[in-house]
Structure 1
Amino acid sequence: MKYVSTRGLRDLGGFSDVLLMGLAPDGGLAMPERLPTLSPDDLEGLRGLDYADLAYAVMHPYIDDIPEADLRAMLRATYHPDVFHSADITPLTPLGNSGLFLLELSNGPSLAFKDIAMQFLGQVFEYVLERRNEELNILGATSGDTGSAAEYAMLGKARINVFMLSPHGRMSAFQQAQMFSLHEPNIFNIAVQGVFDDCQDLVKEINADTGFKARHAIGAVNSINWARVLAQAVYYFKAYFALKLPAGQQVDFSVPSGNFGNVFAGYLAKRMGLPIGQLVVASNENDVLHEFFSTGVYHVRRAAQVAQTSSPSMDIGKASNFERYLYLISGADGAQTGVWWAEVGGGRPVDLRGMAHWDEVRASGFVGGRSSHADRLETIRRTDERFGRLVDPHTADGLLVGERYARAGVPMVCLETALPAKFEDTVKEAVGRTPPRPERFEGIEELPRHFTVMENNAVPLKAWIAQKLGQALQATP
């Protein structure tokens, strides 16, 4: 399997190459040159597989440069009950007789869905770097959960350093404590004076400096990394089989989404042959994606326009993975995708109304909805009262919007994004009590914190990274 860029550059190499690459040299995102599909008989043959074997079946067509035995061993080490505290890895729980189901994705080390893919990245990064005798310096951006998931996955990895950017003062107290309490020689936390989109833009700007990127072996763990998206596609298959539906019957998914990676993984599963009907994109007050799927206009928000909300991991005004979606609905036209993303970069909207591409969007099964602070408080309260289940505010957004689009006779699977303990202030406001947390996280907010506050500027950030790596910053050629 060869990979290409969403902006037209061909032959980026194989899976291991794009794993370490982050952004493509032309600024685009890596995509496989084709999407393998499963016939109905192929799909039925996957029923009954445990999570690790299912992950191999879904992922190996995209990973033909790692021997089968090695890939299977990594997947078994990743998707193990000792890591995810469940034999099912991602248990599926019905919410009474409502037709709604909760896909539990938050049983991993950092209590967020990002662990599902990030634990695999930790394994495969280490494997590829060891084989190549190389080192990698990961530069990432987080609105809350990616950071802790990445850092927990990379702890103790001798060939990997992690430089994680987060928006200063915009994460929950628990999220900050999870990241900033780590005091490890290969973990560096940088709190950027700005919003998540500023952090994301810094990552892209530094990746675009090919000289700096090459000298300092810069890689990525955000959902711009294809391996993240691929690993996340597996739990859509797992949920479908857990429902025990007749062959071919549709299932709908509702996904809280800010950067579009989690729900794009569902679209990948659909394109591979999983009988998904609707993909419901649940937004908070930062409703860029809801606006697009409702109107056909994708208009990013500038940093000053991004609201600070009670579902902070979705406080995003520009969804990076949306570029992959535009690429696919364009018919894998890298030139067209590049034009659209240049419009986004120039502050202009992508307007598909009246174009054939809008017909592709409407046929792809995506719909959108939004939630407010009052909505999510009511949804947390109602879910607790009706089903005896506490959920975090992002999951509440997904439940609220998912219920709006629920169809009679079609299961609606709502993706859990984090345990409520990570957002206890909002949950307590909703139900009047503090949500429980795993014992290993008791008192985490009182631990010493280790982070550096920096301005929103790539120049001093690059100098700081170079200093931490003990290398002299050289002028970009």
Structure 2
Amino acid sequence: MKYISTRGHAGQPQNPEFCDILLGGLAPDGGLYLPESYPQVTRAELDGWRGLSYADLAFAILSKFITDIPPSDLEAICRKTYTAEVYCHARAGDERAEITPVHWLEKGADGRGRFGLLELSNGPTLAFKDMAMQLLGNLFEYVLAKRGETINILGATSGDTGSAAEYAMRGKHGVRVFMLSPHGKMSAFQRAQMYSLQDDNIFNIAVTGMFDDAQDIVKAVSNDHAFKAKHRIGAVNSINWARVAAQIVYYFKGYFAATQSNDEQVAFCVPSGNFGNICAGHIARRMGLPVAKLILATNENDVLDEFFRTGVYRPRKAAETHVTSSPSMDISKASNFERFVFDLVGRDPERVAALWAEVDAGRSFDLSGTPEFARIAEFGFVSGASSHADRLATIRKVYEQYGVMVDTHTADGVKVAWERIGEVPTGVPVLVLETALPVKFAETIREALGRDPERPADLEGIERLPQRVEVMAPEVDTIKRFIAERV
């Protein structure tokens, strides 16, 4: 399997393989890596995969994208990553526990699930980002050891990516992590998860701005090829293809859990800020997974919803980005959206480069009325947005009606799924991708329900632990200097 850039110039080696792009993040031309073509899944493969464990399913799917790691080694990495010990702490001791179980909220008269949650927050940091990040940590360690290299990871987080990356990379040989986050914009629990880590290879930097400012710095450093090469800068944000590839797996696993045969379809509703999570669903669908609809849910930062409704992609400036109670989606420039648009415009890198030249210049682009935008229906997308009031009402309704407590981002997904369910074919089950445990957003849970969410016993009092973080202005040169002094 070879990889290409969404902007046409993947660099050297020309059309690199997986391990070549794993450590690098952005392509040299500023684009994002994608496979030359999406591997197609046969009916026989779907039938054979239905009963696999999560680890074995991950190996089967990732083998289609990773052909430069020996199969026996890749299988060992998948089995090391996806264990009940790592992902099922809430059900400790149950080796048969599903890593990504489906929790049905509604069932039909036949007893089959109709509307439910695909639980993705059973990992060490209680968020869906663990599903890919734990694999990334093990892949990094494997490839670096084989090549005798080190890496300095530079990332940006609006909430959960940072802690998932740091927990996946802490103590890894040959790896340092420099994680940027928006100062004061995450929940107290999210800050504590990241900033309380005392590992020597973890550096937290809180920038006095929004997530988009932090993300722009990561892109600017990645585009400084001399600095990137000298200091061995890599990426763990969802711009890294390995993150997206790993997320494809749970769409297949969710599909198998929600259906009884591969003649059936399913719809997924995905809370999305940076478009990475739902991009994996889009790719799973392009591979042949029987997905009827992909429902995209945003919060008040509705850049993506605006595009799917109007055809206009209009990234906001940092000052226009809302600070919300679902902070991991407080994003107004969706990095992974470029991968989707690449497919939407027929995989034309020149077209993508022209569109993103507008974005990089601070402008918008408009595909409304074009044959390209007409393909949205073919790709199965619909969208919607949610507000703080919607969030509170949804958290209350889900709790009162089903006895289930959901976090703020999952609530955005449930609200939009309810709103757009009429566009899903009759009888097709709808799964909302759960994003995190409610404890990560306790302030809003208290506002909605008047009570504290439960938390795992080992995380009691985490907010009171000493925290280690540097507060800095969102200036590229300042961040570069900080990194250079510590590598």
Distance 2:388 2:18 in 1: 41
What residue is the counterpart of 1:161 in the other structure?
A: 176
Distance 1:465 1:418 in 2: 30
Shift of 1:97: 2.5
What is the CA RMSD across the aligned residues, in angstroms?
0.9
Q: Is the Cα–Cα contact under 8 Å of residues 100 and 403 in structure 1 kept in the other structure? A: no
> 1:89-144: CA deviations, max 9, x gaps?
11111003372110100010000000000000010000000000000000000000
1:181 partnered with 2:191: no
Determine which of 83, 86, 98 is the counterpart of 2:86: 83
Where do residues 309-458 of structure 1 align in structure 2 (5 Å cutoff)? 309-406=324-421, 407=424, 408-458=426-476
What residue is the counterpart of 1:21 in the other structure?
A: 24
What residue is the counterpart of 1:8 in the other structure?
A: 8
Determine which of 247, 251, 268 is the counterpart of 2:283: 268
Distance 1:40 1:344 in 2: 40
**Structure 1: 5+ residue stretches without partners:** 470-477
> 1:369-426: CA deviations, max 9, x gaps?
0001010101000000111100000000000101112233111100000000000010
What residue is the counterpart of 1:211 in the other structure?
A: 226
Determine which of 251, 254, 259 is the counterpart of 1:244: 259
Distance 1:162 1:12, change over 3 A: farther
Shift of 1:76: 0.4
Q: What is the SS of the residue equivalent to 2:23?
A: helix
Determine which of 59, 64, 68 is the counterpart of 2:67: 64
What residue is the counterpart of 1:117 in the other structure?
A: 132
Q: What is the SS of the residue equivalent to 1:394?
A: helix
Determine which of 213, 221, 239 is the counterpart of 1:224: 239
Partner amino acid, structure 1, of 2:367: L
Q: What is the SS of the residue equivalent to 1:409?
A: coil
Distance 2:303 2:106 in 1: 32
Q: What is the SS of the residue equivalent to 2:294?
A: strand
Q: What is the SS of the residue equivalent to 1:21?
A: coil
TM-score normalised to structure 1 length: 0.97
Distance 2:475 2:338 in 1: 24
Determine which of 135, 142, 155 is the counterpart of 2:157: 142
Question: Runs in 1 of length 4+ with deviation above 4 angstroms?
Answer: none
Q: Is the Cα–Cα contact under 8 Å of residues 181 and 211 in structure 2 kept in the other structure? A: yes
Shift of 1:58: 1.0
Distance 2:329 2:263 in 1: 33
What residue is the counterpart of 1:472 in the other structure?
A: none
Distance 1:360 1:57 in 2: 30
| Residues 121-130 or 345-354, more deviating | 345-354
Determine which of 194, 208, 211 is the counterpart of 2:209: 194
> 1:203-232: CA deviations, max 9, x gaps?
000000000000000000000000000000
What residue is the counterpart of 1:39 in the other structure?
A: 42
| Residues 73-82 or 41-50, more deviating | 41-50
Shift of 1:12: 4.2
Distance 2:377 2:224 in 1: 37
Distance 1:354 1:245 in 2: 40
Distance 1:162 1:310 in 2: 27
Q: Is the Cα–Cα contact under 8 Å of residues 12 and 18 in structure 1 kept in the other structure? A: no
Shift of 1:344: 1.0
| Residues 246-255 or 230-239, more deviating | 246-255
Count of residues in correspondence between the two structures = 469
What residue is the counterpart of 1:475 in the other structure?
A: none
Shift of 1:348: 2.0
| Residues 27-36 or 83-92, more deviating | 83-92
Q: Is the Cα–Cα contact under 8 Å of residues 138 and 220 in structure 1 kept in the other structure? A: yes
Determine which of 438, 443, 468 is the counterpart of 2:486: 468
Shift of 1:246: 2.9
Q: What is the SS of the residue equivalent to 1:147?
A: helix
What residue is the counterpart of 2:94 in the other structure?
A: none
Percent of paired sites with the same residue: 58
Partner amino acid, structure 1, of 2:342: Y
Distance 2:207 2:383 in 1: 30
Partner amino acid, structure 1, of 2:198: H
What residue is the counterpart of 1:473 in the other structure?
A: none
Distance 2:130 2:174 in 1: 20
Q: What is the SS of the residue equivalent to 1:148?
A: helix
Distance 2:45 2:72 in 1: 21
Distance 2:59 2:107 in 1: 33
> 1:57-86: CA deviations, max 9, x gaps?
111111000001100000001000000016
Shift of 1:359: 1.4
1:95 partnered with 2:105: yes
Partner amino acid, structure 2, of 1:376: R
Q: What is the SS of the residue equivalent to 2:34?
A: strand
Q: What is the SS of the residue equivalent to 1:405?
A: helix
What residue is the counterpart of 1:126 in the other structure?
A: 141
What residue is the counterpart of 1:474 in the other structure?
A: none
**Structure 2: 5+ residue stretches without partners:** 92-96, 109-113
Q: Is the Cα–Cα contact under 8 Å of residues 259 and 265 in structure 2 kept in the other structure? A: no
Distance 2:462 2:25 in 1: 32
Shift of 1:41: 2.5
Q: Is the Cα–Cα contact under 8 Å of residues 259 and 266 in structure 2 kept in the other structure? A: no
> 1:266-322: CA deviations, max 9, x gaps?
001000000101111100000000000011111101100000000000000000000
Q: What is the SS of the residue equivalent to 1:309?
A: coil
